[in-house]
Structure 1
Amino acid sequence: MTTIEIDTPDGPIDALLDVPQGQGPWPGVVVIHDAFGYGRDKQATNARIARGGYVALTPNMYARGGRIRCITRVMREMQAQRGRALNDILAARDYLKAMPECSGQVGIAGFCMGGHFALVMSPKGFGASAPFYGTPLPRNLDKTLDGACPIVASFGGRDPLGRGAPEKFREVTEAKHITTDTKVYPGVGHSFANTLPAQPLLRITGFGYDQAATDDAWNRVFAFFGEHLAAGAAT
């Protein structure tokens, strides 16, 4: 894992970069972190994606100003579906496309807040999108997904923020004929693929990590990305 700087329309930001071992080029994946930022858990996620045969790049969505101020701004821009946060994601996509190690095919994956962004950005020049519990779903989901790329979506059956979300997602994507792989994991909640502090308490409140669901979800994501980003990508 390497910390790099990428240029954006609003100035440079830092990002985490992981490149697979061996001979490329490989497809790329822009990874959007959750509301906690891009610490140790996101480094592990980047490394996992690189082991799967993808160049992984996680932009720091909180690179400008204090943490609380950044969270407020990013959340506001996520809801409005415009602003610096979206520009940062597009800049990360373009950085990957320009890398000699990248094949030029780029997907997007995100968790919680990042999963929401993965849905919002799915029509914006990505080859595939992998939202992990991107709940609550974006407002006006039907309009948001106009022209969306193929989407592999993972939901927790006990997610307190996602009641009705899988059904709504399936309804909209089927009506719009978007290629999808959608799965709800019963018995797990929000953040099931993230190792966050205070896991026992989080599980009680409908959050928390689950190894089996995480492994299955990533197997689906890599198979889906392998189909839609590049033939022969590692699974």
Structure 2
Amino acid sequence: MPRTSLTVAAPAGDCPATLHTPEGEGPWPGVVMFVDAGGVRETFLVMADRLAAAGYSVLLPDVYYRTPFAPFAMDTVFTEPDERARLMALMAGLTMDMVREDSPAYADALLDRPETSGSAIGTTGYCMGGKVSLTAAAALGERAGAAASFHGGRLAVADDPSSPHHRVSDIRARVLVVAATDDAGFGPEQFALLEESLTAAGVPHTLETYPAAHGFAVPDNPTYDAAAEQRHWTALEDFYGAALAR
């Protein structure tokens, strides 16, 4: 799939990004893909290519652009204490206030491209990116038509002001949330609170749980599950096909 390197003019400076598009003539509906805690790396470039091949103009931004970092090895990052501490510090440095500030810049960069059609985009995110995806959708309002989260964490924590469920009334998008089984970051109480919050806000949504572990959709995660990954692609394509105008 064609890849184009971009620089997004974000609130805190230049944000490196790549634009992934299908072969052939566009334009196509736009999607912003948000990475997990490990940041942009080859696995996510390939995932953005995969989504582009389904007929989308996909922006993959470096959400950590404020804090340059050395890449992580996802097969060992959670078993090596120093690397885990480095990863957790990087995650903690990306606040949801920053995400709300940055999201309009990502949407502008995508919608201003000739490869992108329409006036509303989709978002999707994985693990940490699932929370980012829902937060971005709330920040974008009418400019987000579909928001997905796969094995996202801390999506509905009652006493956490940054929890996305507090802002679902700002969401104008359809929402798809797919949880992992026995996921400490998004357990049954959070699932129920998010469902209740979306319903009360009148947000069209689907919440479900796959029989797979946290991280199932990202191939370089040690918990990767090929069957669940394929199921997620099918669900995401169906979701965007219904929610994003072509």
Q: Same fold (TM over 0.5)?
A: yes
C-alpha displacement at 1:130, in angstroms? 0.7
1:168 corresponds to which residue? 193
1:90 corresponds to which residue? 104
Distance 1:189 1:179 in 2: 26
C-alpha displacement at 1:153, in angstroms? 1.1
1:152 corresponds to which residue? 176
The range that moved more, 39-48 or 130-139, is 130-139
Residues 69-89 of structure 1, C-alpha deviations (whole Å, 9 max, x = no match)? 8964653553xx313x43333
1:121 corresponds to which residue? 136
1:223 corresponds to which residue? 238
Distance 1:62 1:142 in 2: 23
Letter in 1 for 2:131: H
Letter in 1 for 2:112: A
Question: In the superposition, relative to structure 1, how do residues 24 and 66 fare at CA in structure 2: closer, same or farther (>3 Å)?
Answer: closer
Query: Structure 1 vs Structure 2: percent identity of aligned residues?
Result: 29
C-alpha displacement at 1:141, in angstroms? 4.6
CA RMSD in angstroms, aligned pairs only: 2.1
Match of 1:65 among 64, 67, 85: 67
Question: In the superposition, relative to structure 1, how do residues 117 and 65 fare at CA in structure 2: closer, same or farther (>3 Å)?
Answer: closer
Question: In the superposition, relative to structure 1, how do residues 213 and 69 fare at CA in structure 2: closer, same or farther (>3 Å)?
Answer: closer
Distance 1:26 1:66 in 2: 31
Match of 2:225 among 189, 210, 216: 210
2:82 corresponds to which residue? none
TM-score, with structure 2 as normaliser: 0.81
Residues 156-180 of structure 1, C-alpha deviations (whole Å, 9 max, x = no match)? 1132322123222222212222111
Distance 1:159 1:143 in 2: 21
2:78 corresponds to which residue? none
Distance 1:152 1:181 in 2: 5
Match of 1:135 among 153, 156, 163: 153
Distance 2:231 2:36 in 1: 20
Structure 1: any 5+ residue segments left out of the alignment?
Answer: 200-207
Structure 2: any 5+ residue segments left out of the alignment?
Answer: 70-84
Question: In the superposition, relative to structure 1, how do residues 228 and 98 fare at CA in structure 2: closer, same or farther (>3 Å)?
Answer: same
Between Structure 1 and Structure 2, how many residues are aligned?
A: 218
Distance 1:221 1:118 in 2: 13
The range that moved more, 31-40 or 214-223, is 214-223
Distance 2:63 2:86 in 1: 12
Distance 1:13 1:69 in 2: 21
Residues 180-201 of structure 1, C-alpha deviations (whole Å, 9 max, x = no match)? 1222012x1111101235x2xx
TM-score, with structure 1 as normaliser: 0.84
The range that moved more, 159-168 or 35-44, is 159-168
C-alpha displacement at 1:136, in angstroms? 1.8
CA contact (8 A) 1:142 1:172 kept: yes
SS in structure 2 at match of 1:127: strand
Distance 2:165 2:242 in 1: 25
Is the counterpart of residue 107 in structure 1 residue 122 in structure 2?
yes
1:36 corresponds to which residue? 38
Letter in 1 for 2:170: G
2:73 corresponds to which residue? none
1:204 corresponds to which residue? none
- Which consecutive segments of 4 or more residues in structure 1 shift more than 4 A? 68-71
